[in-house]
Amino acid sequence: MKKMNYSRTGIAAALLGAAVLASGCSVGAQAPVSMPGTIQVENVENSNVITVTGSEAVKVVPDMAEITCSVYSRGDSAAACQETNAKDLEAALAVLKELGIAETSIQTSSYGMQPIRNWNSDTQEITGYEMTTTLTVSDIPLDQAGTVMSKTIASGVNSIDNVSYFSSTYDASYQEALKGAVAMAQAKAEAIAAASQKTISTVIHVEEQGYNPSARYTNANLRAPKMAGAASKEMMADMAVMPGEISVEASVTADFAISE
């Protein structure tokens, strides 16, 4: 009887072949995988593919603002501190409502009270209390942001912590940026192919990268405060707001098939 010798590699290959034949598939064939936000074309050899990235930024002038402000109070006792803070807060809220800001656009985003200690003494005794209440005011048309800040400061707000800017045309600007990103990716692929004495034949796969709509403001939420006539006349004397431009950015990764 002849003695048969089988290598581990040969056995593994035989088992793989049997499994493939049993499943009715051919070796090397893979089912196409589709992912959200992608374009996929099947049956292109990996050796004939160029993968590139593209990005584009579109500048847009914001038209909406969000203001974060604070009411800070101090008092000899916790009760006195809280009373002062509540009084100033109510005055600020009343002014916001007078300016036409909807209650749904006003949020108490944080608040807290803590003791004030004399850290230079041995006992570090409490000498008073301090309290901060933070308000976030949203849905403010940009041309009214200065009035909102000036009026709330006059009523009891003693800190403007942050002003954020948004655009109600963000979606259209993002679509424009996406087109620019794809065009850049294609231009890069064409340059790489030309350097290799080849040409681009088709796009195989395009995937959106890093969508971050932090400056997006939807028109469905748009509701302009109804300023009183006197308040509108005083806008020119209010705090100046210079938003500049915000950048709407889009990035893609794309695979292009190449041919001789």
Q: CB–CB of 248/177 below 8 Å? A: yes
For residue range 166-180, list pLDDT tens digits in order.
999 999 999 999 999
Domain contains 139: yes
Q: Report the chain's terminal Cα–Cα distance, integer Å.
A: 56
**Which domain CATH number covers 91?**
3.30.70.2970
196 and 126 within one domain: no
Structure tokens at 73: 């109070």
Phi, psi of 247 (to 5 degrees): -100, 125
187 and 158 within one domain: no
Write out the residue range of the structural domain in which residue 99 sits: 64-166
- Mean pLDDT on 56-67: 94
pLDDT of 210:
87
110 and 68 within one domain: yes
pLDDT of 244:
85
Phi-psi region of 96 (alpha: psi -120 to 50; beta: other; left: phi over 0): alpha
161 and 74 within one domain: yes
Q: Which residue has the higher pLDDT, 21 or 160?
A: 160
210 and 157 within one domain: no
138 and 96 within one domain: yes
For residue range 203-259, list pLDDT tens digits in order.
999 999 988 888 888 754 444 344 433 343 444 356 677 788 899 999 999 999 998
Domain contains 17: no
192 and 71 within one domain: no
Domain contains 23: no
123 and 182 within one domain: no
Domain limit, last residue, from 151, 166, 181: 166
- Give the number of domains in the chain: 2
Domain limit, last residue, from 140, 166, 192: 166
What is the rounded distance in angstroms from the CA atom of residue 157 to the CA atom of residue 106?
14
For residue range 93-134, list pLDDT tens digits in order.
999 999 999 999 999 988 899 999 999 888 889 999 999 999
Domain contains 157: yes
pLDDT at 3 over 50: no
Domain contains 141: yes
124 and 201 within one domain: no
For residue range 8-46, list pLDDT tens digits in order.
334 333 333 333 333 333 333 333 443 444 434 444 455
148 and 93 within one domain: yes
Phi-psi region of 92 (alpha: psi -120 to 50; beta: other; left: phi over 0): alpha
159 and 74 within one domain: yes
Domain limit, last residue, from 135, 151, 166: 166
- Half-sphere exposure in the Cβ direction for 197 (13 Å, CA): 0
Domain contains 227: no
Q: Name the residue among 118, 78, 64 with its Cα closest to residue 243.
A: 64
43 and 124 within one domain: no
Domain contains 178: yes
Supply the mean pLDDT for the chain: 80
Domain contains 244: yes
